[in-house]
Amino acid sequence: MAMSTLLLFLFLTSSTIATTPTVCQYTLYPSFCRSSLPITNSSANVFDYGCFSVRKSISAATKFSAFIDKYLARPSSLTTPAIRALQDCHYLAQLNIEFLQNTFQTVDDKSQTALSTIKSQDIQTMLSAILTNTQTCIDGVQATSASWTSKNGILAPLANDNKLYSVSLALFNRGWGHHVKNNKPTSFHRNKHHIGFNNGHLPLKMSERNKAIFETVGRRKLLQQAADDQVVVSDIVVVSQDGSGNFTTITEAINIAPNKSAAADGYFMIYVTAGVYEEYVNIPKNKLYLMIIGDGINQTVITGNHSVVDGWTTFNSATFIVTAPYFVAVNITIRNTAGAIKHQAVALRNGADLSTFYSCSFEGYQDTLYTHSLRQFYRECDIYGTVDFIFGNAAVVFQNCNLYPRQPMSGQFNAITAQGRTDPGQNTGTSIQNCSIRAAEDLGSTKTYLGRPWKEYSRTVYMKTFMDSSIDGEGWRAWSGDFALNTSYYAEFDNSGPGSDTSERVNWDGFHIINATEASSFTASTFIPGDEFIPQTGVPYDGGL
């Protein structure tokens, strides 16, 4: 990261008096900041400016949501793709309002200038996601037909809103982001009625039938944790296409899952037996602590075929969508079968904070896995695709996964990643650790690259990963001309295999060969708070290098 970027986040004490020009120099948009934060109080400090900026952001997000409502109230004047793009914008605006209100509760508390590490990370994550959500709306609207005359009426206010959100993030990072205590992450609190997949302890409220089901699943040692680690499960329902379970579709099981569960309640487990489930699964944000376990990769399969060519937005083309925090999936395959000819067609879209996927596979072509936002972890998963097949702007760590570039359409090349960080203050990026890149069986001589910069501050790191000969010697591919080549952060550390030779790599300012100290910043315990949420899942992980 450049020294000028690092200076944005130097510690500023709460006692320091800050005029608007002084505060605004630490933002990405100083002129906009000065005109937007006209605080006249001579004793105002960075916390006052940060609080004012967040309050103004809430007003902007609320106004934009109402603005979108007016467009959607007269859909006859819009094309179907435009309506779908605006529906995405409305959903994302509502998320932004919620995140901003949560942020304001913290920054408005004058006694909370010294936040714990975890709390500070949580707020930075929400503010980062707000920028991602707004950019997703912009991208969706821009992708609709050029003949849509109302398009500019949407994009102009969004551009200003995005600047305001960026200012809020920069001021938070400046005032609160490094004003933290080095607290040890808290552990997952287990109640006395808990389940261990290996020891068979059961919560009292589980039915006798579900006890038997649990013991059957548990004997498969799906989570493979040590004997003294236990996964708390409140209850289990079974999905089976032959009618022998509680439900025949996954959606029915999700609908009856409890809302807003707490950690102490444990996971509500949905066991999905082997079969091909042709349904579009959407797990909303109120279904906290939901765990879906299947019978294995290519045994329990969820499949769909929505695509951009067929009129869907990239955001809503996904076969499987999850936004519920603390979600866990094990032993399932998620597919989008639209094919390369249909361009963007997502298998999984994940916007679930502190979510975990273990021993799953994601199959598609362009845009297979949309790591949209917030914090995510993937372990021992298989990912198949062509153009930008891992993309998005989450803070995400992939460990011990298999990445399979496959054959794209004629004239296309493969890019494994397209990371979407738009602001240097965002805590987002893609970390690929101890993984393996091998050509899929159908891949011919198509050039394959480690990634390309989708957005200006794109950030992707490969560490201790095997790269076969399908990886082009340059390693990385430009997006368009010299866009983001100097502002992105692309790094490699201690990789192996014929594709890992860095002697012919790109010479961009944004590309780095890093050492172990730098690489450790992108591990599960540091880049995401892995020690905080992964142990409760029972999924194995490496906290460091």
CB contact at 8 A, 494 and 464: yes
Beta-bridge mates of residue 414: 448
CB contact at 8 A, 415 and 387: yes
Q: Is 266 left (phi over 0), alpha (psi -120 to 50) or beta?
A: left
Cα-based angle 100, 324, 373 (whole degrees, multiple of 5): 60
Q: How far is CA 445 from the centre of its chain?
A: 31
Copy the structure tokens of residue 342.
């249909």
Copy the structure tokens of residue 429.
């990026």
Q: How many other CB atoms are found less than 10 A from the CB of residue 367?
A: 27
CB contact at 8 A, 139 and 84: no
Burial 76-97 (b: 16+ CB within 10 A, else e): eebeebbbbbbbbbbbbbebbb
What would the DSSP string read from start to end of 168-230?
HHHHHIIIIIT-EE-PPPPPPP--SS-B-TTT----TTS-HHHHHHHHHHHHTTSS---TT--
Q: Which entry of 122, 367, 423, 472 is annotated as an active-site residue?
A: 367
CB contact at 8 A, 268 and 291: yes
Say what angle helices 80-107 and 46-72 make with each other, to 10 degrees. 150
Question: Which uninterrupted H or E stretch holds 292?
Answer: strand 290-294
Exposed, middle or buried, 140 (CB in 10 Å: 0-12/13-18/19+)?
buried
CB contact at 8 A, 462 and 493: yes
In this structure, the chain runs to a length of 545
Check if 295 is active-site: no
Sign of dihedral through CA atoms 85, 91, 97, 99?
negative
Q: Which entry of 161, 295, 353, 388 is annotated as an active-site residue?
A: 388
Q: What is the DSSP letter of 143?
A: T
Question: Which uninterrupted H or E stretch holds 271?
Answer: strand 267-272
In degrees and rounded to multiples of 5, residue 392 shows phi and psi of: 130, -170
For tokens 């949580």, the residue is 122
Radius of gyration (C-alpha) of the chain in whole angstroms = 23
Copy the structure tokens of residue 28.
């990405």
CB contact at 8 A, 326 and 264: no
Q: Nearest CA to 404 among 342, 347, 455, 456?
A: 347
**E strand map for 464-543:** 466-467, 489-493, 511-513
Catalytic residue numbers? 367, 388
